Structure 1
Amino acid sequence: MENDIHIKTAVLHILDTSVNFPVLSDKEIELSGETVEFLEKHISKIFEDTNLKKAQFIGEVNTIKDICNALKEDSGRFMEVTRAIGVMTFDFMLKNIDISSGDLICCHFHAGNEPYLALLKLNYKTGFTHYVNQMEEGAVNSIIRYKTLLPSDGQKVDEAVLISLETDEIKLIEKAYEINGTKEFYMSNYLIKCTTDLSDNQKLKIIDKVTQKISKKYYDEDFDKVAKLKKVVSEGLEEKSEIRVDEIAQEVFDTNLAVREEYIQEIQKAGLIEEAIKVPEKLAEKKFKTHKIKTDTGIEINFPLSYYDNRDMIEFANNPDGSISIIIKNVGKIINKR
């Protein structure tokens, strides 16, 4: 079970480019109750993150892969290999100043019975805290801006890599930064050196973006097409916990074979080549349970997707002058929301 996380060893290396050198730890973190809980919570959240991408090592020469093999053969080399990763990462950050400073936590852990190496880059957050200044006349309490706060266990980690020491499979969350004048994913392209699949979030964004593009091109941004897309996807998820691109095309653009074909081709060109897409329950709940529309008069309406085409709840009527009337029905009470 991926949620059954057991931390074996962990170390924290400070990668603050304002200092111009990495502060590498000589000893592992003492795994107290609070620290273990902090790490386990973050790793569990990473496994479940909808931005998580699967990846595979590439290249005949791959330093991180060699490091993982060394750790697999001898877990006693944990400090040695994580210090090497810290130096590699910091050297790249120094050459590319757009990359956020942060603390690199390296963990050797088990998910179920599978051993992993985790690299959690905890980018610094800016916040405020109190400061006590002892003066001759007594203590003076003040508020100061603190620039190196770590994300709490309730927040998401911006950048993380989980590498199976059993299968070499990689799971990662990464951020794009400006590298040589272009926004790039430095973790997968330069440090880990791996090819990545699309995350669940990216797959759904592609479907949504292409649907709106085709809708704008052929149907003058018909909101009905986007609502219908969501309803088709929602119904498919309830039945099979997956969505099929060909079924979406058939349902949404049923009367036009040429548009259906173009829709599928555009999705494939965007990098989504899978016929069936598994969608996690949390993401399905977030993306496909409600639908939000905004009129050109500034009115916004957010309604349950199950109400779409249910004329007992909401009706969209086309008027002779080309305008649209929206009629919301069977309302028992209106609640003001701030």
Structure 2
Amino acid sequence: MAIDTGDYVNDINIQEAVIHVLDQNADTPILNEYMLDLSDDTYNFLYRHIEKCLKDEELKFAVFNTERNIVKEVVQDYLNGISSDLIGMSKELSNQLFGIMKGNITIQSCDLIVVSIVTDQGPMVGLLKMDYVKNFTHQVDFVDNKIGIGIIPQAAGLPGNGQKIQKAVFIKPVREGQAYDLMVLDKIKAKEEEYGANYFNNNFLGCSILTSPRDATKTFMKATESWTRSNIVEDAAKAEAIRTRVKEKLENQDDINIEELSHELFQSDSEEKESFINYLNGHGIAEEIKIDKSYVEKKLKRVRLKIDKDIDLYINSEAYKDNTRFEIQKNGDGSINMVIKHINNYMEK
């Protein structure tokens, strides 16, 4: 069963949640015995982070591996009604993650929030690894009957609404024939790369990442742009023609065949055809990819042009395609003119 854009979560309702403290400097995790009070502020705080995670471009679909895994077992017991104890389940998950953390000093201390949610894709259990961020607050002291106010750091602050979580997972009830079991956000920080960078997916969750249409579309767009930058350096007209044709394909077709696209772009130039195809294959792009139209619409809504290293131009897609407002003129020598027309107003920023 294939993954499609309808598998992404759009509606979220938080049922219950619990938080535990996983501090690298401690010998054991600090495990909560009570549910979080989902006041308006707490509910909104959790909701915004969950929503951000589920809309993050780096969110991946995955399936559990066949090997025995604690996360899979305890979460499935909860989702299937064998156990209704969210606190007990979350304690087991916290102990499991903490054990992995103590074996890898590069893993950042955190609070682990475990939530039970209902979505338009069915019930899920979410795990949010809330890495600590350094915040600052004031401190008021009385010195010789005088007030002294200073600023002190708080090393164990939680990510605010404007900050993004690096690692999270949303787990579905496992059913035979379904496209995926879980949705994983696993951003790897530079200091994690040397030692067990994939601990969250491999050691903790025990899952394998799947390629979704959004992943394939994102990779395709980055790879075609990267190839064009590297191979079409002194011919702006040709580079513009390639970029325009690729955008037309992305906007107007549901699928793109790499062989056919290569033929359209390079016609009889077999060397460039082969180079283009090999480059995309090297980035995991198969012979044909399914296009995620919502991702394309979002990414092509605005065009950012870096011109000869010293000019930046931002323009929305509608104006870019309107020849009465913006036009690209070919000079016949590989160079082009970009003409902005009929300007009634402008501002300096």
Structure 1 and Structure 2 fold alike (TM over 0.5): yes
TM-score by length of 1: 0.83
Residue 21 (structure 1) aligns with: 28
How far 1:58 sits from its partner (Å)? 0.7
Which residue number corresponds to residue 188 of structure 1? Answer: 201
For residues 189-204 of structure 1, the aligned pairs below 5 Å read 189-198=202-211, 203-204=216-217
> Are 1:63 and 2:75 an aligned pair?
no
Q: Secondary structure at the match of 1:61?
A: coil
Correspondence for 1:301: 313
Matches within 5 A, 1:93-242: 93-112=101-120, 114-135=122-143, 137-167=145-175, 169-177=181-189, 178=191, 181=194, 184-198=197-211, 203-215=216-228, 218-220=231-233, 222-224=235-237, 226-240=239-253
Give the distance between the partners of 1:283 and 1:133, measured in 2 at CA: 55
Whether 2:51 is the aligned partner of 1:44: answer: yes
1:318-333 alignment to 2 at 5 Å? 318=331, 324=335, 326-333=337-344
Rate the CA distance shift 1:44–1:327 in 2: closer, same or farther, 3 A: closer
**In 2, Cα distance between the equivalents of 1:186 and 1:225?**
44
* RMSD of aligned alpha carbons: 3.3
Deviates most, 66-75 or 51-60: 66-75
Contact 2:124 2:173 in 1 (8 A): yes
Instruction: Report SS of the residue matched to 1:176.
Output: coil
Tell me if structure 2 keeps the 8 A contact 1:129–1:143: yes
**CA drift at 1:269:** 2.9
Q: Is the 8 A contact 2:300 2:317 kept in 1?
A: no
* Preserved CA contact (<8 Å) 2:331 2:337: no
Is 41-50 or 254-263 further displaced after alignment? 254-263
2:255–2:288: 8 Å Cα contact kept in structure 1?
A: no
Which of the residues 78, 85, 95 maps onto 2:86? 78
What is the CA–CA distance in structure 2 between the aligned matches of 1:260 and 1:183, rounded to whole Å?
Answer: 38
Distance 2:281 2:166 in 1: 28
Separation in structure 1 between the aligned mates of residue 256 and residue 62 of structure 2, nearest angstrom: 22
| Compared CA separation, residues 44 and 329, structure 1 to 2 (3 A) | closer
Which deviates more from structure 2 when the two are superposed, residues 62-71 or residues 198-207? 198-207
Q: Is residue 51–residue 201 contact of structure 1 (8 Å, CA) maintained in 2?
A: no
SS at 2:87 equivalent: helix
Shift of residue 99 of structure 1?
2.2
Instruction: Report SS of the residue matched to 1:66.
Output: helix
- Structure 1 letter corresponding to 2:23: D
Shift of 1:233: 4.2
- In structure 2, list runs of 5 or more residues that go unmatched: 1-7
Q: How many residues align?
A: 335
- Alpha carbons of structure 1 residues 311 and 219: separation in structure 2 relative to 1, 3 Å: farther
Q: Deviations over 1:221-273 (max 9, x none)?
A: 64445544543344344435665545543443344345334423432332233
Unaligned runs of 5+ in 1: none
242 and 38 in structure 1: CA distance in 2 versus 1, 3 angstrom threshold: farther
How far 1:35 moved relative to its partner?
Answer: 1.6
For 2:239 and 2:342, how far apart are their aligned partners in 1? 25
What is the 5 A alignment of 1:256-267? 256-267=269-280
TM-score by length of 2: 0.80
Tell me if the contact between 1:176 and 1:186 (Cα under 8 Å) persists in the aligned partners. no
Q: Name the % identity.
A: 26
Contact 1:64/1:191, CA 8 A, preserved across alignment: yes
1:87, distance to aligned residue in structure 2 (A): 1.6
CA distance change for structure 1 residues 308 and 209 in 2, over 3 Å: closer, same or farther? same
Counterparts of 1:106 and 1:122, CA distance in 2: 11
8 Å Cα contact 2:58/2:187 also seen in 1: no
Give the stretch that moved more between structures: 177-186 or 75-84. Answer: 177-186
Name the CA distance, whole Å, in 2 between partners of 1:247 and 1:312: 32
Relative to structure 1, is the Cα distance of residues 52 and 327 closer, same or farther in structure 2, using a 3 angstrom cutoff?
Answer: closer
Structure 1 residues 334 and 251: CA distance shift in structure 2, 3 A: farther
Residue equivalent to 2:346: 335
User: How far 1:39 moved relative to its partner?
Assistant: 1.8
Q: Give the Cα separation in 2 of the matches to 1:131 and 1:244.
A: 63
Q: Letter of the 1:300 partner, please give it.
A: D
